[in-house]
Amino acid sequence: MASSSTTNSILSPSFLSGLANSTSTDSPRPPSLLSFLPNSSSSSTAVSIKLSDRRPRNNRRSLPVTNAAIKTTSSPSSTAAPTETPGATHDASRPTILVSEKLGSAGLDLLRGFGNVDCSYDLSPEDLCRKISSCDALIVRSGTKVTREVFEAAKGRLKVVGRAGVGIDNVDLQAATEFGCLVVNAPTANTVAAAEHGIALLAAMARNVAQADASVKSGKWERTKYVGVSMVGKTLAVMGFGKVGSEVARRAKGLGMHVISHDPYAPADRARAMGVELVSFDQAISTADFISLHMPLTPTTRKILNDDTFAKMKPGVRIVNVARGGVIDEDALVRALDSGKVAQAALDVFSQEPPPKDSKLVQHERVIATPHLGASTKEAQEGVAIEIAEAVVGALNGELSATAVNAPMVPPEVLSALAPFVTLAEKLGRLAVQLASGGEGIKSVKVVYRSARDPDDLDTRLLRAMITKGIIEPISDGSYVNLVNADFIAKQKGLRISEERIVVDASPEMPVHSIEVLMSNVDSKFGSAVAGEGGDVVVEGRVKYGVPHLTKVGGFEVDVSLEGNLILCRQVDRPGMIGEVGNILGEDNVNVNFMSVGRMARKKQAIMAIGVDEEPQEQTLSKIGKVSAVEEFVFLKL
């Protein structure tokens, strides 16, 4: 007996931007999607999943490694502008990558091997907008604000924004999504560095290291004034159990601390495996002796530590923040320090960076302040540079990045098995919309996934996004459509999608047995041949031997490889049809890859699917239409 699970949603970029919020070092990162690039050392063919069928402007398939161009400019205020590479020239055939803040040399070398690199530091917002229209990629750190105005000024050319670091609150994700610009970050390279800095601040705060150091250097010897507190046996609340938060928890456990955590998105089993108890927000802040912040800056978390939340804390609590400055109401923290509610604070980040010189918070005697050093180790800086350079080059090459924050992602170990189904999903969407008469009128789409796996174990976000891209791209009037902005465009068109997951008796090793796409309340270009019982356009496909296949069109069973282009003919079921249509194509020099016939015996009808490399000329299609037994036919671009 098959069982099913049904969900409905209006397609929008919200599930994409929601993922982005959890890509900070400070919260659990969503599963990542790795690029599958050709491996010349292997005889097998690697799977390549493209953001779009269109290649980025000025891009080439090969990655040149010599004669790279680097152009360097700087505003007068820049103090560390790079020098121009001798003999370097701008190659118009290669993409242009603007680097607006310092990046490690290893990362720059990777970028130079791929395109024209323009290192222009300390750009004003106006200068950035002027430059961006000639750039294919932009790499920033935390100091550059990538606003809607930047994306508008790019005029559709900007394909990827790379954040050399983790937090992406300085990038307008909504605008990036609307303009089809992929946003990538570098979430792994500085994880250990940030966690180490958090622990260093925790220990320095507990033992008054900074204050005692300043005292000794001023000629004093005040041993009794700087008596600290032990960390052993104390409760540490880790607020955000993502990459950095979990690493801080691991190290704190090693120091003998009792660790609890609040994170609504963290898997309970992962926390339990580390000996960490997940608790509510109020329970975490009210029972902790130390609080370490590792959450992203979002509208929900902005100033989440404020007068009200400080009031719920234990007297003498100590707070560390190596996440984002805006999560603390800094005026409220000063009041809590003055009252003694908060004994000490160690801060690496601030709501304004650098903070004002007369900042009461920075100058407070019970505050340790560092200038955003979380990722500032030699190893982390080089790692971040390499990680973001690889992500940007991959994106410019049309590949999905492992660190995309505004595109649906799945674990890399899952993607290797899911990859052919991703291709199948897009082609089924593209096929279905071409079979519908008047694609702009499509308002309701239902996707049915049949699988041997439990519905809760089947993550269909990427498949749904690819189906959406396949549907939207052919009806978007030449607009640039990719995996990033397909959902946004679908929402603008009022397209609704529902999903149903049905458990069937099939191989559990295959993530999906079949995918069916149904478009409701639309007329078909192909009449009853592709219509279900309710008049919907219906297509179904499977993956066979790693290749996407069309297995059902309306009520007809077929077996067609979804490669190249397709001619579908609805015909009277009689002998000789394959030869007759095949002769027409052969006479007009149309290369036929395959022909397949599906029958509906009770109606004495058949559907013939013909795979061709290129679109036949109009006169060739006209000849097919004049065959007496052919009732309807349609040419489909896959």
By annotation, the residues acting in catalysis are: 324, 353, 372
Are 446 and 500 in contact, with CB atoms under 8 Å apart? Answer: yes
Run of H or E residues at 69: none
Give kind and range of the element (H or E) at residue 637.
strand 630-637
CB atoms within 10 A of CB 534: 9
- For the record, the structure tokens of 98 come out as 């603007």
Give the number of other Cβ atoms within 10 Å of residue 41's Cβ. 4
Phi then psi for residue 271, to 5 deg, are -65, -45
* Three-state DSSP state, 126: helix
The answer to whether the beta carbons of residues 351 and 330 sit under 8 Å apart is yes
Query: What does DSSP assign to residue 591?
Result: P
Distance between CA atoms of residues 119 and 127, nearest Å: 13
List the strands of the sheet with 514-520, edge to edge.
Answer: 3-10, 496-503, 444-451, 514-520, 537-544, 547-553, 556-561
Residue type, 141: R
Q: Are 252 and 233 in contact (CB under 8 A)?
A: no
End-to-end CA distance of the chain: 35
Place of tokens 């407070």: 364
Provide the residue type at 498 as one letter.
Answer: S
CB atoms within 10 A of CB 343: 19
According to DSSP, residue 142 is labeled: S
Structure tokens at 192: 């250990």
Contact 151, 172 (CB under 8 A): yes
Helix axis angle, 461-472 to 412-435, nearest 10°: 30
Rounded to whole angstroms, the Cα distance separating 337 from 303 reads: 16
Rg (CA), the chain: 29
- Edge-to-edge strands, sheet with 70-74: 70-74, 116-121, 96-99, 137-140, 160-163, 182-185
* Amino acid of residue 631: E
Closest CA relative to residue 536, chosen from 545, 544, 526: 526
Concatenated DSSP letters of 523-551: EETTGGGGB-TTS-EEEEEEEETTEEEEE
> What tokens does 438 get?
């008047």
Beta carbons within 10 angstroms of residue 222's beta carbon: 12
Strand partners, 239: 262, 293
